[in-house]
Amino acid sequence: GAVVSQHPSWVICKSGTSVKIECRSLDFQATTMFWYRQFPKQSLMLMATSNEGSKATYEQGVEKDKFLINHASLTLSTLTVTSAHPEDSSFYICSAGEGSSSYNAEAFFGQGTRLTVV
């Protein structure tokens, strides 16, 4: 099956610094990538949808200037958490779709990135 690789798998950073998380589709072209955040004991919350070559679409309540998303190519999307604070500590997950209009489209998930801000 399709593989989505997310890097790094975990990161610890100091408060006030920025952290970049990469999401790559290894064997398919991902027209659309999704970024989720998972709070402890909660479900995944969709943060934004990124389409290659255009601006990301953010969900309500997600700060665009804090969570910068760049989908520069059909195989790579990045999420940058700017000026991170402890409350940004969470599990971030990306998923990628092949962009098919098929009704049976399914998303492929990266393994996630555990961000801890100290």
Q: Which helix (H) or strand (E) holds 71?
A: strand 67-73
CB of 52 to another protein, least distance (A): 14
CB of 36 to another protein, least distance (A): 8
C-alpha 90/C-alpha 79 separation (Å) is 13
Applying CB under 8 A, the residues found at the interface with another protein are 6, 32, 34, 41-44, 46, 49, 93, 95, 97, 99-112
The residue among 13 and 45 lying less far from another protein, judged by its C-beta, is: 45
Phi and psi at residue 102, to the nearest 5°:
-60, 140
CB atoms within 10 A of CB 3: 12
The residue among 46 and 76 lying less far from another protein, judged by its C-beta, is: 46
C-alpha 29/C-alpha 25 separation (Å) is 7
DSSP secondary structure code for residue 27 in this structure: S
The residue among 14 and 61 lying less far from another protein, judged by its C-beta, is: 61
CB 111 within 8 A of CB 7: no
CB of 8 to another protein, least distance (A): 13
The residue among 20 and 114 lying less far from another protein, judged by its C-beta, is: 114
CB of 58 to another protein, least distance (A): 13
DSSP secondary structure code for residue 18 in this structure: -
